[in-house]
Every structure is written in C-alpha cells, then in structure tokens.
Amino acid sequence: MDLISHIIFGLTLTRLVYMNRPQEWEKYRNIIILIAIAASLFPDIDILTTHRSEIHAPLVLAVLAGVIGLAYPLSFKPLLVGFLSHSLLDVFLFDNSNDTIRQIIDIAITNDTAASEVNEVVVTGIAANGIMLLYPISRKMYSIMLTETTYAMVAGLVLSTAAITLYLTRNNTGKYR
C-alpha cells in the first residue's frame, strides 16, 4: 500500500490502542504520534535494498519494537502498532493485470510516451510479492491479491476505521476533560 494509507492506518490503530489510557495519551500525545508515523513508514526503508525484505516480517518488527522499547518504554506500543499495521497492509497487493494503472494515468497524461514512462515507474514501484509473514520460520511470501473493487473496499475500510476512531476519540476527549 501507499505511504499515506500506511500513516493513516498506523495512527488509527495506535489511537485505538490508547483508548483505555486517556491520561497517558493526553500526556505523551505528540511523541506517540511521531513514533507511530515513523514506525508505520519504517519497513519501507528496505526499498533502498530489497523491497519487502526481512524488515517487513512481523516477528522481526516485533523484536525490534521490543528491543527499542526496553531502552525507551514509552515507544514500545506505538512502534509495535505502527510496524505491524505496515506488515498487515502490505499483505494486500493490487492486481494490475488489466493495466488499470495505465488507464488511470492515460486519463491524466495525454502524451503517450510520457504516460508510458510514468506507468513504468509506478508499476515497478508497486511491484511486490507480499510479505514474509512467518520469517524467520519460513521465507514464503504471503499476499492477498485485490481487484479494483476489493482494493477500493480495503482502502475504504482503512478510511472508515480512521473516521470512526476520530469520532470515538472526540467524544472521549470531551468526557475526560
């Protein structure tokens, strides 16, 4: 999934985790949000080497959150939630076998050469085989292929979760103030 979805999903889940800890949330909100954003994007630094590598594996990320959490306990929850939310979203792959991406680009870019260059970059950028869900036990890649409709449903689900969380936390904040 794209960076924005990762941030929205990571922040939403983190906020949900702190629902029952309003004092902790109120006190450390800014740092928690910063850590959650960083964590929800972190696994993609492997784009510099092999994308969707070991650092997309949930167990590796959980251990990393644990190690950093030992040194800096406050960071443990937002790190863990941010990391795992990233893994979870990256299980979903967009099925581009019908050249959907090219069709969308063609709407925006009329120049054929330019459109095909942009398509190349985008397609290479999103190309992936899922994630190594069970690493280090197995290096098998797991993924769920989404069509245009189901991709929109998953994206919609992420946004709805965010909207519901916002709604719930607004009410909560009022209650505790």
Which residues bind to Zn ion, rule: CB under 5 A? 43-44, 90
Could you tell me the smallest distance in angstroms from the CB atom of residue 86 to Zn ion?
A: 6
CA pair distance 162, 78, nearest whole angstrom:
16
Could you tell me the smallest distance in angstroms from the CB atom of residue 52 to Zn ion?
A: 6
What amino acid occupies position 10? G
Could you tell me the smallest distance in angstroms from the CB atom of residue 112 to Zn ion?
A: 31
Could you tell me the smallest distance in angstroms from the CB atom of residue 87 to Zn ion?
A: 8
Pick from 51, 31, 38: nearest CA to 7: 38
68 or 91: whose CB is closer to Zn ion?
91
Q: How far does the chain reach from its first CA to its final CA, in angstroms?
A: 37
43 or 82: whose CB is closer to Zn ion?
43
Q: What is the residue whose two structure tokens read 């120049």?
A: 111
126 or 162: whose CB is closer to Zn ion?
126
CA pair distance 80, 66, nearest whole angstrom:
8
40 or 165: whose CB is closer to Zn ion?
40
Q: What is the residue whose two structure tokens read 């942009």?
A: 118
Q: What is the residue whose two structure tokens read 């889940």?
A: 13
